[in-house]
Structure 1
Amino acid sequence: MSFIKVITVFVLAGFCEIGGCYLIWLWLKEDKPFWYGLFGSTILVLYGVVATFQSNNFARTYAAYGGIFIIMSFLWAYKFDNFKPDKFDIIGALIVFLGISIIYFAKRH
């Protein structure tokens, strides 16, 4: 699977998971209408489906996705919650990206 396709699937999965969780968060923590939670739950189910589009095995897919989730969480919070990452957040995210690359793309055998 090409690098672009792998990253695209990971990013789509990230939007589904983070977006779904964010809608549920808004519903429960910020008194948004029930349909926020319902729509968020539906999007979370889609996350579970989208991740299966990866060609690697479950362990490597979800381990690498965990790193994508960390990076996307920072970006989401920056965009929607006025979170300002500091240099340690950025350094950590870069280390995570290196780890993702090794886990998912290293040549084996």
Structure 2
Amino acid sequence: METLVLPGKKTIESEQIVYLESDSNYTIIHQTSLPNKVVAAKSLCYVQKDLNPKSFVRINRQQVINIACITNFWEENDTVNIEIFNGDLFKTSRRRTSSFLNSISPIEI
């Protein structure tokens, strides 16, 4: 079980993370447990590098998604629409579409 250590010695189990969202120099961590959102005083790239790249994929400049939370995805033009277990929808950027498809292809949803 992997643990993400945030500033202030706060820890979050990686299985509890649904997705990460950038907000300037902060990262909003959306999780399944309460509290649903935690704000970290680190930019998204620094938080992402502490996570397992086989479990989390960057889909655009603003978001990183936990692959285990994806329930459905479909290609549309040059991007991919992604649906997670709670019904939220995300869209890959054109530049990150191929890396998303490469990281998700060995996993059947």
Shorter chain as normaliser: what TM range? Answer: under 0.3
Higher relative contact order (CA 8 A, sep 6+): 1
